[in-house]
Amino acid sequence: NGHDWTAKYRDLVREAKRLGAESAIVDGEIIVLNEAGLSDFGDLRKAITRRQQDLYFVAFDLLHLNGHDLRDMALEVRREILASMIKPGRRIQFSEPLPGEAKAILHLLDQAGLEGMVSKRKDSKYRSGPSANWLKAKCYAIDEFDLLGVEREAGKPAFALMAERGTGRYVGSAFVTLNREMRERLWKRVQEHPGTAPKGVMKRPATQWVKPGLIGRVKHLRGEDDLRHASLQDFREDDTDGRG
C-alpha cells in the first residue's frame, strides 16, 4: 500500500542488514512470543510501539535476491537459499517446515492455541493472489462475550452483537446458529428486557438492544482483535450482575 514502516521496526532493520544481501524481497511475518514461546497476535500491537526488542521476523519465502527474480524457481529451492542466509538465534528466523498429514498437524496447532497454518506445494512457483498451490487453514476459539443485542431482519440471517467482557468494547457480530427453541428464548429475552445502544456503538439496521446481563458463547477465528467468522453457540444469564 506504499507505506514505509522502516521506523517502526528499527531493530529488525538492523538484523536484516546482517543477512549478507545487497537487496532482497523476503516473504514473512512479524511476531511476538508469549511466555510459552508461542506467537501472540494480541500482544503484537503493543510490542510494535513499546517493545521493539521483543519482535521477531519469521521468514517463509525469498522472491528476489540481489536483483534476481526467483519467483519461477520451485518453492523448496527458494527456501534452501533463504535458509542459507539466516543464522540461528537471531531476530530474523527461518520458518521450519512441518512435514506430515495436514489434519494431524492442524490438530496439534489448535491444541497449542495457535492461529492456524499455511500449506504449500514444495515444487510450486511463486504467484501473487489466491492459488491452489497454497492453502490457509485457520483455528477457531470459543469464548464468552457480553451480548448487547440482536439484529433481525425478515429474510436475512440474524446476528448477535457482542462486547468484550470487563471492558465493554464492541468486538463485532456473531451469526445466530442456535436451534429453534433457544432462538425463541433469545428473542423473548431481548423483547422483555429492552436496552439502549451502548456508548460508541453505531446504530445498525433492525437492531434490538437488550439490558446488560446476557453472556454469549461465541465460536470465532483465533488471533483477531475483533470477531471474524463468528457464530453464537449458546447464551446464559450473567450470575454476577445481581439479577434474580
Query: 41-71: per-residue pLDDT in tens?
Result: 667 777 777 677 788 999 999 999 999 999 9
Q: Indicate yes or no: pTM above 0.95.
A: no
Domain positions in the chain are: 8-138, 140-237
Backbone Cα Rg of the chain: 23
Rounded mean pLDDT, 142-168: 92
- The pLDDT of residue 103: 86
CA distances for 198 relative to 75, 102, 194, angstroms: 50, 43, 12
- The pLDDT of residue 189: 93
Average pLDDT in the chain: 87
Given pLDDT bands bounded at 50, 70 and 90, which one contains residue 243? very low
Whether the CB-CB separation of 100 and 71 falls below 8 Å is answered with no
Whether the CB-CB separation of 134 and 124 falls below 8 Å is answered with yes
User: What are the backbone angles phi and psi of residue 192, rounded to the nearest 5°?
Assistant: -80, -20
- The pLDDT of residue 241: 58
User: Strand, coil or helix: what is 48?
Assistant: helix
Return the C-alpha cell found at 14. Answer: 538492523
- For the segment(s) 140-237, the CATH number from 3.40.50.2300, 3.40.630.40, 2.40.50.140, 3.10.20.740 is 2.40.50.140
